[in-house]
Amino acid sequence: MKRIVLGVSAGIAAYKSVLLLRLLREAGHHVDVIPTSNVENFVGDATWEALSGNRVTSNVFDGVQDVNHVRLGQLADLVLVVPATADLMAKAAAGLANDLLTGTLLATRAPVVMAPAMHTEMWQHPATVANVQTLRDRGVRIINPATGRLTGKDSGPGRLPEPEEIFASVQDLLGDARLAGTKVLITAGGTREPLDPVRFLGNRSSGRQGVALAEAARAAGAEVTLIACHLEVPAPHGVTLIEASSALDLHEAVFTHAPGQDVLIMNAAVADFRPATIENSKIKKRDEYSAPVIELVRNPDILAEVVAQRATNAQLPPFIVGFAAETGDEQGTVLDYGRAKLARKGCEMLVVNEVGATLTFGQDTNSIHVLFAGSSDSVHAAGSKLEVARVVIEQISHATKGHAAQE
């Protein structure tokens, strides 16, 4: 977790800064937003406060007792200005400090990153060119604007880069790039096995844990592909999203997308069985008393198949993580069953979570144990699904480094 000041100056691209704020918060950072006073014409303080979880003001005379114009800059690990208008950069280059953001820029000794956005004529004006050069000479990192559609009918250089791109450069700068350059494929949610055009056999997985894993992997710099089976929560930004419905669809999607990936995380709750036949029309009550008998057949074990096929296909991911939803009983604990399953599946890591009517499914919190092939170690984590996901991603990043070193 780092402390970031997100300065926002008054341009239409301020809306993209809202998405950047979300990405920074999802990655676990503390963010103090400092808009300039005209930003409220584009995005109001309520939005910044709700998404940052912190009070927001543009005014140096608010909360004077806290000496915010100096304090926020002093505490920050990084100061971002997104978007940076021509006016804001001119003030910063001149060393003006007539509002909270410009004061913070003078007071801070943290790295400063600015992402300019303006019309092409303003970006190319000699005054702006000189101000950008002055700021660069002083060590401010300026992210070059993208070329493309601007406000109105104009197009050219001056467009704010996408929030995901700015976020990626911020993560690099903060050193949270543990999985940079790593391709991670994650399956999430629960499969549905059709019985007829309207009915299916399903399970209670909401996809929350898989989505949290995708967020945590992306925040660690990974290139993430998420295969989603009926998510009850929105998929995160900045990942490639593929949808799958039944276990057979998921099987096909995994084998299509797994080649070339470095890590596969099989988090989806995959139905082990499916109806032997799918009726073309809705199954009807034929008389008053009888009920149909549904014959089930086995689904392929996708995880075990990918592990098995690696023997002959070097393109398949060298590091595979399984999930096990377990309940303990008189014969063994949740961990005993987890270790047996890890050995059976042949993957590199198994994340075991205890399930029950009130545990795990559809909840916002989770309690897990991470088990490693060929080791009796285990790592326990409990908390929100995002907190748990961060621990899993941390363990994957440790283990894959070890893995690469052994090869």
Judged by the rule CB under 6 A, the positions of this chain that interact with ligand CTP are 247, 266, 268, 270, 272, 299, 301-303, 322-325
- Tell me which residue of 335, 343, 399, 346 sits closest to 369, measured CA to CA: 335
Minimal distance, residue 272 CB to ligand CTP, in Å = 5
CA 194, CA 277: separation in Å to the nearest integer? 9
Q: Which structure tokens are listed for 237?
A: 């930004």
CA 67, CA 246: separation in Å to the nearest integer? 58
Minimal distance, residue 297 CB to ligand CTP, in Å = 12
Of the two residues 102 and 353, which places its CB atom closer to ligand CTP in the complex? 353
Minimal distance, residue 353 CB to ligand CTP, in Å = 10
- Tell me which residue of 184, 200, 209, 309 sits closest to 255, measured CA to CA: 309
Of the two residues 19 and 278, which places its CB atom closer to ligand CTP in the complex? 278
Of the two residues 36 and 191, which places its CB atom closer to ligand CTP in the complex? 191
What contacts 398, CB < 8 A, 6 or more positions away? Answer: none
Helix (H) or strand (E) holding 70: helix 68-75
Active-site residue set: 203
Are 136 and 142 in contact by the 8 Å Cβ rule? The answer is yes
User: Measured on CA atoms in the order 91, 32, 30, 49, is the torsion positive or negative?
Assistant: negative
Minimal distance, residue 270 CB to ligand CTP, in Å = 4
Minimal distance, residue 191 CB to ligand CTP, in Å = 8
Beta strands in 270-359 (DSSP E): 273-275, 296-298, 319-326, 349-354
Minimal distance, residue 144 CB to ligand CTP, in Å = 42
For residue 143, give the amino acid letter: I
* Sequential DSSP letters for 318-383: SEEEEEEEE--BTTB-HHHHHHHHHHHHT-SEEEEEE-BTTBSTT-SEEEEEEEETT---EEEEEE
Please give the torsion angle defined by the CA atoms of residues 108, 61, 25 and 163, in that order, rounded to the nearest 10 degrees: -70
Q: Which structure tokens are listed for 246?
A: 């039944």
Helix/strand number for the chain, H first, E second: 13, 19
Of the two residues 47 and 366, which places its CB atom closer to ligand CTP in the complex? 366
Phi first, then psi, for residue 307 (nearest 5°) are: -60, -45
Residue owning tokens 């004077």: 64
Of the two residues 47 and 360, which places its CB atom closer to ligand CTP in the complex? 360
- Tell me which residue of 20, 17, 25, 51 sits closest to 168, measured CA to CA: 20
Minimal distance, residue 303 CB to ligand CTP, in Å = 3
Of the two residues 6 and 324, which places its CB atom closer to ligand CTP in the complex? 324
